[in-house]
């Protein structure tokens, strides 16, 4: 069956509404900030509040490698938790093979944790 141009009208209407709403969500807060005075910066508003230390003058200055190491370890063990929940839900269907595969996965993670611990990656000086 050949599609006519009229059959694409709902899709085009949906895309036009989505584009209009997206533009409104981006530009209306900016316009409201101009009229309400929320965009007037001052010293207190421009201070650092997330990392706790002043911003660097040079954007190419080096960070301590421990920040990256902690982030990588967090991602690894966060993914472990993300894999454990679906595994626990489907354990009834996967049976002993699923249980064995997860035990191998957990053993690999335990070995990785032991290695990181031995290398001192978890110690903060």
The two tokens of residue 41 are: 């910066």
Mean per-residue pLDDT, 52-79: 74
The 3-state secondary structure of the chain reads CCCCHHHHHHHHHHHHHHHHHHHHHHHHHHHHHHHHCCCCCCCCCCCCCCCCCCCCCCCCCCCCHHHHHHHHHHHHHHHHHHHHHHHHHHHHHHHHHHHHHHHHHHHHHHHHHHHHHHHCCCCCC
Domain count for the chain, please give it.
1
CATH number at residue 31: 1.20.58
Quickly state the pLDDT bin for 33 (edges 50, 70, 90): confident
Q: Answer whether residue 86 is part of any domain.
A: yes
Domain that holds residue 89: 18-55+63-119
Q: Answer whether residue 1 is part of any domain.
A: no
User: Could you read off the pLDDT of 67-103 as tens digits, one per residue?
Assistant: 787 788 888 888 888 888 888 888 889 899 989 998 9
């Amino acid at each position: 069956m050949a599609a006519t141009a009229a059959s694409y009208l709902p899709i085009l209407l949906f895309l036009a509404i989505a584009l209009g709403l997206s533009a409104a969500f981006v530009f209306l807060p900016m316009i409201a900030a101009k009229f309400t005075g929320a965009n007037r910066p001052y010293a207190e508003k421009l201070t650092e509040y997330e990392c706790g230390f002043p911003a660097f003058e040079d954007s190419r200055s080096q960070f301590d490698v421990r920040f990256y190491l902690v982030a990588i370890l967090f991602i690894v063990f966060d993914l472990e938790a993300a894999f454990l929940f679906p595994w626990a839900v489907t354990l009834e269907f996967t049976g002993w093979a699923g249980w064995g595969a997860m035990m191998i996965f957990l053993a690999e993670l335990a070995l990785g944790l032991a290695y990181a611990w031995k290398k001192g990656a978890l110690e903060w000086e």
